[in-house]
Structure 1
Amino acid sequence: MSGGEGKVVCVTGASGFIASWLVKLLLDHGYTVHATVRSLDDPKKIEHLLALDGAKERLSLFEANLSVEGSFDSAVNGCVSLFHTASPVLFSVDDPQAQLIDPAVKGTLNVLKSAAKVESLKRVVLTSSLAAVMFRSTLPEHVGVMDETWFSDPVICEQRKLWYCISKTLAEDAAVKFAKDNGLDSVVIHPGYVVGPILQPTLNLTSETILSLLKDGKELFPDGMYRLVDVRDVAAAHILAFENPEANGRYCMVGKVARYLEIMKIVDELYPSLGHSERCKDGECVESLLYDVSRVKVERLGVKFTPLEVSIKDTIESLREKNLLSV
């Protein structure tokens, strides 16, 4: 990645799992960062950001709300790029429209309306999800590799009550259309299941799930597929998507498709004291691997994927450091 000296960029939802790493890497590369959070009065949202190297000199925090049009005007003013990560990540909701879909779609449009007012800002990098890619109405005739040409079908998602998937799918559609109509260049990153060390003091949903896999009892878990990617790789991909003028369209981000049993065997080898040997017995996988996920386009962008063993070890060490897991 090239140096960011003299360049001002905006990161929305900066206290989140991916966004915190994005802010860290941007500061490490010399960028000046305008970071938005929902509340400047919540130390859990801002203290870990203020503690980053370079934050004192080149990090400014802004309070902004996805539901309020114009809320992001101050944060994007003077920026050359916008990294929009802010969006609710919930898999269980009582009111999908109010809790997920509206904040994702209308919130994204509110952010982009602010961006469109800034003459210096030309490229928007949007954090989406593999959830907006993989739920198709029909699979290709020759199933094997999922890539950027796949699009989730909102009808199928609604039938299966996959509300998060709908929110990400509709938000991407709305963002790409708005950007095209308003002279903004958009690039969309689609991470799979994001793992890796956490910077924020609170657990995000994927880290909470990993923690539950490590802590809950000794019973055998049903085996399934995880499409995994390291959070640091996702953050790096965002920066590369801004810095490379030839970056375009969508980028799927999955470093490794792994069975649950594979993950637990790695855990057992690294941390035998956790006592997961019983979980690592071979069994039939409840989810067959219909397809892998292409890494071709994102590797051309310059992404180098972290080995799964490293991601798992760093995840566990991070949970230990925050006293969330005893090993």
Structure 2
Amino acid sequence: MEENNRYCKVCVTGGSGFIGSCLIKMLFNKGNYYVHATLRNLVNRLKGLEGAETRLKLFEADIYNPQQFDGAIKDCKFVFHVATPLLHTQQSQYKGLTEASLAGVKSIIKSCIRSGTVRRLIYTASVMAASPLKDDEGGLKDFMDENCWTSVL
């Protein structure tokens, strides 16, 4: 795989998730993007997308290890931050998903600044609008629906 200057280089964090993988496919269909995608695990289906052989570079990165994103963001003009700490555990240094998500966003912003090339950061936290926790916070619900939306306050 060879990077080419005729493409706009972008980074998609959380590339193997639903939003990330759809975004990468759209960028390939658009035709003029070279994508750096971050994933928790490099074994995934993204390599099978049309255009992946020549316009996709995968980086292993976890939102709980923010320094891992620097390589993926380096030299990119745009960063689409869709990764989220979905599998939060009590062993984490963060008190909960919200604190972990905020720390992740801050670390991505710092990586963008360090790169010196990022012109725009596009951030979505759609998964954070819902919570699959049971009302007593004693575990996860069996499924997510409109009753899982978090309160405004």
Regarding TM over 0.5, the answer is yes
> Which letter does structure 2 place at the counterpart of 1:78?
D
Aligned equivalent of 1:49: 46
TM-score, with structure 1 as normaliser: 0.36
The 1-side partners of 2:148 and 2:63 are apart by 30
Deviation at 1:110, TM superposition (A): 1.3
**What whole-Å deviation, never above 9, does each CA across 1:70-113 have from its counterpart, x for those lacking one?**
211110111000000010346xx774954513331111211111
Change (3 A) 1:82 1:209: same
Q: Note if contact 1:82-1:124 (Cα within 8 Å) is conserved in structure 2.
A: yes
The 2-side partners of 1:67 and 1:131 are apart by 16
Change (3 A) 1:78 1:209: same
Give me the CA root mean square deviation.
Answer: 3.3
The 1-side partners of 2:112 and 2:9 are apart by 13
Change (3 A) 1:131 1:71: closer
TM-score, with structure 2 as normaliser: 0.72
Aligned equivalent of 1:62: 59
Q: Note if contact 2:80-2:123 (Cα within 8 Å) is conserved in structure 1.
A: yes
> Which letter does structure 1 place at the counterpart of 2:49?
L
Greater fraction helix: 1
Q: Note if contact 1:12-1:36 (Cα within 8 Å) is conserved in structure 2.
A: yes
Change (3 A) 1:19 1:130: closer
Change (3 A) 1:100 1:131: closer
The 2-side partners of 1:62 and 1:71 are apart by 8
SS in 2 for 1:125: strand
The 1-side partners of 2:89 and 2:82 are apart by 23
Aligned equivalent of 1:120: 117
* Aligned-pair identity (%): 36
> Which letter does structure 1 place at the counterpart of 2:30?
H
Structure of greater Rg: 1
Structure 2 residue runs without a partner (length 5+)? 1-5
Deviation at 1:130, TM superposition (A): 8.3
Change (3 A) 1:75 1:130: closer
Q: Note if contact 2:64-2:85 (Cα within 8 Å) is conserved in structure 1.
A: no
Structure 1 residue runs without a partner (length 5+)? 133-156, 164-204, 211-223, 228-327
SS in 1 for 2:115: coil
**What whole-Å deviation, never above 9, does each CA across 1:7-60 have from its counterpart, x for those lacking one?**
0000001110111101111111121000001122xx3xx2x1000010001000
Aligned equivalent of 1:181: none
> Which letter does structure 1 place at the counterpart of 2:59?
F
Aligned equivalent of 1:33: 35
> Which letter does structure 2 place at the counterpart of 1:9?
V
SS in 1 for 2:67: coil
Instruction: Between the two structures, name the one with larger relative contact order (CA 8 Å, sep ≥ 6).
Output: 2
Aligned equivalent of 1:104: 101
Change (3 A) 1:130 1:61: closer
Q: Note if contact 1:15-1:49 (Cα within 8 Å) is conserved in structure 2.
A: yes
Change (3 A) 1:29 1:87: same
